[in-house]
Structure 1
Amino acid sequence: MNSNLPILPGITGLATAQDIAPKSIAESLLDDRSILEKRLKLQLERPIDEVDNQEIRRLISSLLADFANNDSQLSENTLKALFINWAIFEQWCNDKQVISLPSSSQNFIQFINEKKSLVKMNTLSQYRWAVSKIHLAAGLPSPSHTQKAIDIVTGIRKNKVISSELVDQAQPFREVHCDAIFELWRHDPNPLISRNLAILVTAYETMLRESELARIELSHLTYHEDGRATLLIPFTKSRKSGEPDTTMLSRQCVDTIRKYLSLDVNDSVYLFKKMRRNGKPTSQNQAISRYTIDRVFKQAYDCLSLNRPELLEGISLWSGHSARVGACQDLLSAGYSTLEVQQAGRWTSGQMVFQYGRNILAKESAMAKARWNK
């Protein structure tokens, strides 16, 4: 079998409609993908000397093409991460001169064992997810799902915890930082600075992820007589049912957005327009990228480093996720419950609240309170 099977649209040698035509009543009750998966499974279960390698290649290619053409359940960023992490495994297989698709569980275990000392557990988990996702997309059993592979990954995770490897966390962009940047940038006439300030304040107040922040449309805003506004959030990472969330924007946030929009530089459906560094809008009407949002936070960090360095003590460079972390910590510090913060951040569980606010929550523990005056 070819170890370099493409995994994007444009695959050749695909099964035709005639090839997928049901051959039994049972198959007539299935969709095309299920028929392909059923036939691939039958091929894989044949004795090695009876396997039709050409048919297996064609079935795998057809299943991958189906996945590539019906990937609406995955966001653009998720797809990018999938292919980037799969490419790392595929390159490793090429270097070892072993087949990447389908991969044996033994080869996958060797890959994980070689990578475990080079990357953190989160990255290993991304590798495992990508390898599994591509195999399942191709109608193949995942090499990471054998009991031995599961046990080895579990053991690696345990050893990394014992060795005190901590999960990387974005540096917090807190209210004090947001207010300081607001005072420094609020009167700047540059449209780019005006847009970037609106991005920062909106990111902090809404606790949106980068991709969600970038996708805000002008039509998602409903302005109220008291100067505030409601933001409709039609789609989030944790809510994919089509039922939208909403969040309130403060008067300060609304004023910042209105000032930016009053500069008449936005002809896009999106709230945050793509702009050049000179402050002029681009002709593109696409949503800004997460890299743009990262640059905005870097610009804010550099500005405070120059003007208010005392606010950055113990804090390294921000990223687009920093406002989400900082807002979580501020809400916990203000006395809001873990559940309230979880709801504000639209998390499905309290796990991330505990992760982002572990130092703050430690101060609120029963023992910390009992020994406060000791």
Structure 2
Amino acid sequence: EIWAIRAVHRATGMPDPTVARSVTNLIGKVITTQALDERFIKQAQALNYEAISILVKKWRLSGNLAERRNLAYIVAAYDGLFRYAEISNIKLDHIKPQDNGTLQVVLPITKTNHSGDADVVVLSATTRQVIEEYMQLGRFNYKPQNKNDYLFKGVSGWGSSLKDSGKPLAHNSVITMLNSAYKVIYSGIDEDELPRKYTAHSMRVGAAQDMFKRGVELARIIKAGRWSNESMPIRYGRGHIADGATSEILDSLL
């Protein structure tokens, strides 16, 4: 995404290639062409509370490390309304366990925050439990020597150990993860009744819709999702706008 390219270059002190006139002109032409062809961005298929409930039942006690990592990733992405670029870049140094059982996550790079101050997201005690169960099975912890490790890592082909590549979890790995979740959630459903496949933003969409259904105020949803205005959450919540936020929803899960 353009915002991610811009944020990374600025954070590293490199020139921002997106401000070049040739680049902005090209982006404008692409957007105009898509609009004229009526090719609009489709909303991601929602991965919501009900779907997560199924995954918890199927994966939480699994001895398969990939399934436990997948569950932790999906629950965290839902609870924090994380974008792919946010959750994939979380390192252990960004996580601070709190005395009340929650996890505080500092996001160094976000799409809408240009203040220079990192965003802080608090994940529920339920999410912390799922994450730490995955960490225990993966044999890593919050010790200082691990601070530069990414929270979510690749898993070996045998599914028995984590791969420390020193890089964020790749987007195609996340899609593979979500395809696995999709098969579990929609097992037994006729093919012609299946919804669209999940995308990296499906948990974010599902969380926003669930909050609308629970009657959460729009201002809280905007804040939770770190949106700069109400247009996108309203689009996500269309058809679901009816107290609690995602943490309150998830705390009834386990």
* TM-score normalized by the length of structure 1: 0.53
The one-letter code sitting in structure 2 at the alignment partner of 1:328 is A
In 2, the alpha carbon distance for the partners of 1:144 and 1:306 equals 40
Show CA shifts across 1:228-272 (max 9, x none).
221111210111333111122112211111111112445661111
User: Which residue in 2 is equivalent to 1:234?
Assistant: 108
User: Which residue in 2 is equivalent to 1:167?
Assistant: 41
Report the alpha carbon displacement of residue 282 of structure 1 after superposing the two structures with TM: 2.3
Alignment gaps of 5+ in structure 2:
141-145, 243-254
Report the alpha carbon displacement of residue 332 of structure 1 after superposing the two structures with TM: 0.8
Report the alpha carbon displacement of residue 210 of structure 1 after superposing the two structures with TM: 0.6
Contact persistence 2:84–2:200 (CA under 8 A): yes
The one-letter code sitting in structure 1 at the alignment partner of 2:153 is K
Show CA shifts across 1:283-336 (max 9, x none).
4121111221121111111111227x59xx663211111001111101111111
User: Which residue in 2 is equivalent to 1:88?
Assistant: none
SS at match of 1:317: coil
Report the count of equivalent residues.
225
Distance 1:144 1:315, change over 3 A: closer
In 2, the alpha carbon distance for the partners of 1:144 and 1:197 equals 36
Report the alpha carbon displacement of residue 216 of structure 1 after superposing the two structures with TM: 0.6
User: Which residue in 1 is equivalent to 2:219?
Assistant: 339
Match of 2:51 among 177, 181, 196: 177
Which structure has more relative contact order (CA 8 Å, sep 6+)? It is 2
In 2, the alpha carbon distance for the partners of 1:180 and 1:136 equals 44
Match of 1:281 among 162, 177, 182: 162
In 1, the alpha carbon distance for the partners of 2:156 and 2:181 equals 17
In our comparison, the structure showing a higher alpha carbon Rg is: 1
Q: Over aligned residue pairs, what C-alpha RMSD do you find?
A: 3.3
Show CA shifts across 1:7-64 (max 9, x none).
xxxxxxxxxxxxxxxxxxxxxxxxxxxxxxxxxxxxxxxxxxxxxxxxxxxxxxxxxx
User: Which residue in 1 is equivalent to 2:184?
Assistant: 303
Distance 1:144 1:285, change over 3 A: closer
Contact persistence 1:234–1:245 (CA under 8 A): yes
Show CA shifts across 1:353-374 (max 9, x none).
121111223x6xxxxxxxxxxx
Percent identity of the aligned residues?
25
SS at match of 1:320: coil
In 2, the alpha carbon distance for the partners of 1:244 and 1:221 equals 13
Alignment gaps of 5+ in structure 1:
1-67, 83-129, 364-374
Distance 1:258 1:358, change over 3 A: same
SS at match of 2:224: helix
Match of 1:355 among 230, 235, 242: 235
User: Which residue in 1 is equivalent to 2:125?
Assistant: 251
Match of 1:213 among 84, 87, 90: 87
The one-letter code sitting in structure 1 at the alignment partner of 2:22 is H
SS at match of 1:231: strand
* TM-score normalized by the length of structure 2: 0.76
Show CA shifts across 1:82-129 (max 9, x none).
9xxxxxxxxxxxxxxxxxxxxxxxxxxxxxxxxxxxxxxxxxxxxxxx
User: Which residue in 2 is equivalent to 1:135?
Assistant: 22
In 2, the alpha carbon distance for the partners of 1:136 and 1:226 equals 48
In 1, the alpha carbon distance for the partners of 2:86 and 2:26 equals 33
User: Which residue in 1 is equivalent to 2:143?
Assistant: none
Q: In the alignment, does 2:30 pair up with 1:73? A: no
Structure richer in helix, relative to its length: 1
Q: In the alignment, does 2:67 pair up with 1:193? A: yes
The one-letter code sitting in structure 1 at the alignment partner of 2:237 is G
Contact persistence 1:223–1:230 (CA under 8 A): yes
Distance 1:136 1:226, change over 3 A: closer
Distance 1:273 1:265, change over 3 A: farther
User: Which residue in 1 is equivalent to 2:99?
Assistant: 225
Distance 1:198 1:136, change over 3 A: closer
Distance 1:330 1:144, change over 3 A: closer
